[in-house]
Amino acid sequence: MAKVNVLVGTRKGVFSLTSDQARDKWAIAGPFVGGLDVNHAVMDPRTGAIFATANDPWFGPTIRFSRDMGETWTDAKASPRFAGDPKPAPGDSTPWFFQESVIMERCWHIQPGRASEPNVMYCGVGPAALFRSDDNGDTWVENMALSAHPTRERWNPGAGGLILHSVVLDPKDKARMWTAISAGGVFRTEDAGASWQAMNDNLRDPGAAFDPNLPLYPEAGQCVHQIAHAAGDNDRLYLQSHAGTYRSDDGGSHWTEITAGLPSDFGMSMAAHPHNPDTAYVVPLQGGELRCPPEFKLRVFRTSDAGATWEPMTAGLPQEQAFMGVYRDSLCTDTLPSAGLYMGTNTGQLWVSANDGDSWKLVTQNLPPICSVEAAVLD
């Protein structure tokens, strides 16, 4: 019988939770890489290896991986680094933040490649850049075409810095993928990263509300928070930004705002249903300052008609005095027939739904602040 594994990246390491298909009782292991700030942890479905963006304030950001379900961990031989970053001499224990001319701030999101690319991995970092590995995460090379994009001068840091946080692979086209940058917008490549095009048509720039000299719909510079590909071999994408929720039916060439029916146009997380391309989920938050659920009610909103309408999923979730937030990688689904949903909060609670979001159960409320949640179905 298949099992479900959930990897939780936190401010103090990685936790691993395992359950059967009922997803009712969970065994919790960890923390792994204890004490490190893990923005994202994910299992590579091709090999079963676990990868983590382990950010150490003393030694800097590192890609760390385990090939035995967390029993042992290895640092990449050469984690993502910019050309101008210092390369300390062997035995040099100078703290990372005391090194001169440090550019790399942190590793944010790690994405395994396709089944047809057995050794390929991608990593988004801050300041915003995309790195690729062709040796299962051991060494990394910066994608210079994106880093040198003509719109880069219009990219600006958001509250978490200038970060590349989303890497989405086209399920049918090996040469096509999308990235999202806060605050830079969405970018698409059709040639495996040799060139990139800004894909921000009809995405609002929240900065225009404060500066009338800024365009409302610029070519780039939007504060996109998360993108997700709809189920199936199609061109549909869902997007949550600082200023609205959106859908694209043409691979990002044009976006349609689908915020109507949500209590806020702000949120960090977006997840697509694993089987139904018309179904997606968001967790609205109050503005960019408070970042708590509207009315202090923790609700996951679901659309079953591609954003035409939204309904709040509340059963089992706190509907008063809910002062937590949900980060961009902290909402995900599994691939079982009755889709499981998983949501982590920055106050250390992990919530699970085994029925497409209809009802929720609190698995644990004692974890460190949760930065990411990723689910995998294991044979």
- The single residue listed with the structure tokens 């300052």 is 289
| CA-CA-CA-CA dihedral for 121, 29, 352, 347, to nearest 10 | -90
Q: What is the DSSP letter of 179?
A: E
Q: Give the per-residue pLDDT at 206.
A: 83
User: 3-state SS string over 196-233?
Assistant: CEECCCCCCCHHHHCCCCCCCCCCCCECEEEEEECCCC
DSSP β-bridge partners for residue 245: 240
Q: Give the per-residue pLDDT at 97.
A: 66
Which of 84-88, 214-218, 228-232 holds the top average pLDDT? 228-232
Q: Which residue has the higher pLDDT, 336 or 94?
A: 336
CA atoms of 290 and 293, how far apart (whole Å): 9
Q: Give the per-residue pLDDT at 58.
A: 84
Reply yes or no on whether the pLDDT at 98 is more than 90. Answer: no
Burial class (CB within 10 angstroms; exposed 0-12, middle 13-18, buried 19+) of 72: exposed
Closest among 303, 297, 308 to 282, alpha carbons compared: 303
Cβ proximity of 75 and 64 under 8 Å? yes
Q: What pTM was estimated for this model as a whole? A: 0.95
Q: Give the per-residue pLDDT at 246.
A: 98
Q: Across the chain, what does the average pLDDT equal?
A: 94
Assigned token pair, 60: 């800097």
Reply yes or no on whether the pLDDT at 90 is more than 70. Answer: no
H helix runs in the chain, sequence order: 144-147
Q: Residue 60 — left, alpha, or beta (φ > 0 → left; ψ -120 to 50 → alpha)? A: left
| Mean pLDDT, rounded, for 174-197 | 97
| Mean pLDDT, rounded, for 315-324 | 98
| pLDDT tens string 137-157 | 999 999 999 999 999 999 999
Reply yes or no on whether the pLDDT at 117 is more than 70. Answer: yes
Q: Give the per-residue pLDDT at 208.
A: 76
| pLDDT tens string 259-312 | 999 999 999 999 999 999 999 999 999 987 899 999 999 999 999 999 999 999
pLDDT over 90, % of the chain: 87
Reply yes or no on whether the pLDDT at 91 is more than 70. Answer: no
Q: Which residue has the higher pLDDT, 209 or 259?
A: 259
Kindly indicate the confidence band of residue 39, based on its pLDDT and cuts at 50, 70 and 90.
very high
- Least confident range from 42-46, 84-88, 159-163, 372-376: namely 84-88
